[in-house]
Structure 1
Amino acid sequence: MAISKFHQLFLLSLLSLSLHRPVLSNHEEESLLQGINDYRKSLKLKTLTENENAGCLAEEIADQIKHQPCTNTSGPASVPGSQPGFPGFLEFLTNCEISVTSTRDGEIMPACAPDLDANLLLSSFTKSRYNKNLNDSKFTGIGIASDNDWIVVILSTNTSEGSFTPITEEGEVPETDSAFTFGVNSVVSSCLLVLLFSFFMF
């Protein structure tokens, strides 16, 4: 049965919009962020705000370690708070367009829990060697990503050596709303493609 031009246009529109769909936040990540911030509030520390660049790096690392076994010898019990030895770390920074000099004061903290159990995850950070980082007032931002049984938390500072700022050309000021601009441009370009397609089809 032939597909009508209207159905073709509709399917093309859905395909175009799906290519630019927003990334949905993960429930486990939101729950952990809330738990960490509640923990910091109990210590009378400022809550951590989401750092998109740190979040991007956390995604890269979570994707790398997602197949590692989650045992009582993995996660915070065996991994120091900072992870300088991830294979491909510089490639991850390039993928996220993060300046390497802006990561020196940050902390990368991977942990695991079967099925990302919320209580186990929170205690993996608040009741382990990681809590010294959560107790530190120098950290102001956070990036979180998870994959399989693993979750990666990255803490950032508001200093030039811990803010996970983008790579910039000399003299260039980084755009703070570049992600928003990209999203809007993507949607606009998708709509233009649909309009052009429908113009030539009808």
Structure 2
Amino acid sequence: MAASSSSLPLPLLLLLLQLTLLLSSPVQSADEEENLLQGINKYRTSLNLSALSENKNAHCFAGELADQFKSQPCTNTTGADTVPGTETQFSNYPDLLSKCNLDIMNTRDGVIMPACVPNLVPDIVLSNFTESQYSQSLNDTKYTGAGIGSEDNWIIVVLTTNTPPGSFAPGTSAAVAPKIVFTSHLLSVLLGVFLVLLS
């Protein structure tokens, strides 16, 4: 007979809740990001352009940028509505690159496109890229890859090229560090669940 949640010990309930919270948020944002890439690729295909491939390094960088943008409110002058030349500048840009083990020389031909959409409604998110100033970059054949990151109401698309100045190629193998940190947190939670079950 299955035990009801009310009969589970409190430490086990807390560990299960923590595990649920750890696993639910990344899955939701990954779905939003995957849906956007699919929508952009359908848009490009309709224009007889090749689909963009996922670039893991650009994905990492887009995630770092999304984290920087998340505290900014959505207005009619942010994201896709930003007047060219007035985009947000981050003084810690080199640090953001290093978190993904990127060298500025391999990113200078890439394009960063932030959009702010309350609740990241998929159709509105896609139109913020395909029906805005960003469509010019999406229509450009020199872009062959993309990385997408999201936080709160912000979603960032980073376009990459297949040439060194826009490839987002990593400098060394240290780019796996963020994945190791998440994995160690998850292992700690699972170990805690296992120890509670044994007691």
**TM bin (shorter chain):** 0.7 to 0.9
Please say if residues 82 and 108 of structure 1, whose CA atoms lie closer than 8 Å, have aligned partners that are also in contact. Answer: no
Please say if residues 106 and 168 of structure 2, whose CA atoms lie closer than 8 Å, have aligned partners that are also in contact. Answer: yes
Q: Which amino acid aligns with 1:104?
A: R
Please say if residues 55 and 154 of structure 1, whose CA atoms lie closer than 8 Å, have aligned partners that are also in contact. Answer: yes
Aligned residues: 182
Please say if residues 81 and 129 of structure 1, whose CA atoms lie closer than 8 Å, have aligned partners that are also in contact. Answer: no
Normalised to the residue count of structure 1, the TM-score between the two structures is 0.72
Q: Which amino acid aligns with 1:30?
A: E
Following the alignment from structure 1 to structure 2, what is the Cα–Cα distance between the partners of residues 72 and 65?
15
Residue of structure 1 equivalent to 2:92: 88
Q: CA deviation at 1:24?
A: 3.7
Provide structure 2 residue ranges, at least 5 long, that are not aligned to the other structure. Answer: 1-11
Equivalent positions of 1:36-115 (< 5 A) are 36-80=40-84, 85-115=89-119
1:154 aligns with 2:148: no
Following the alignment from structure 2 to structure 1, what is the Cα–Cα distance between the partners of residues 49 and 27?
28
Following the alignment from structure 1 to structure 2, what is the Cα–Cα distance between the partners of residues 82 and 30?
29
Following the alignment from structure 1 to structure 2, what is the Cα–Cα distance between the partners of residues 166 and 43?
31
Q: Which has the larger radius of gyration?
A: 1
Following the alignment from structure 2 to structure 1, what is the Cα–Cα distance between the partners of residues 79 and 39?
18
Equivalent positions of 1:1-202 (< 5 A) are 24=27, 26=29, 27-80=31-84, 85-168=89-172
Please say if residues 80 and 129 of structure 2, whose CA atoms lie closer than 8 Å, have aligned partners that are also in contact. Answer: yes
Residue deviations 1:67-107 (CA, integer Å, cap 9, x gap): 11101221111154996832311000111001110001100
Q: Which amino acid aligns with 2:167?
A: S
Provide structure 1 residue ranges, at least 5 long, that are not aligned to the other structure. Answer: 1-9, 169-173
Please say if residues 77 and 83 of structure 2, whose CA atoms lie closer than 8 Å, have aligned partners that are also in contact. Answer: no
* Root-mean-square deviation (Å): 3.8
Following the alignment from structure 1 to structure 2, what is the Cα–Cα distance between the partners of residues 147 and 77?
18
Following the alignment from structure 1 to structure 2, what is the Cα–Cα distance between the partners of residues 121 and 167?
32
The change in CA–CA distance for 1:61 and 1:122 in structure 2 (over 3 A counts) is same
Following the alignment from structure 1 to structure 2, what is the Cα–Cα distance between the partners of residues 125 and 95?
26
Indicate the SS of the match to 2:129.
Answer: helix
Normalised to the residue count of structure 2, the TM-score between the two structures is 0.73
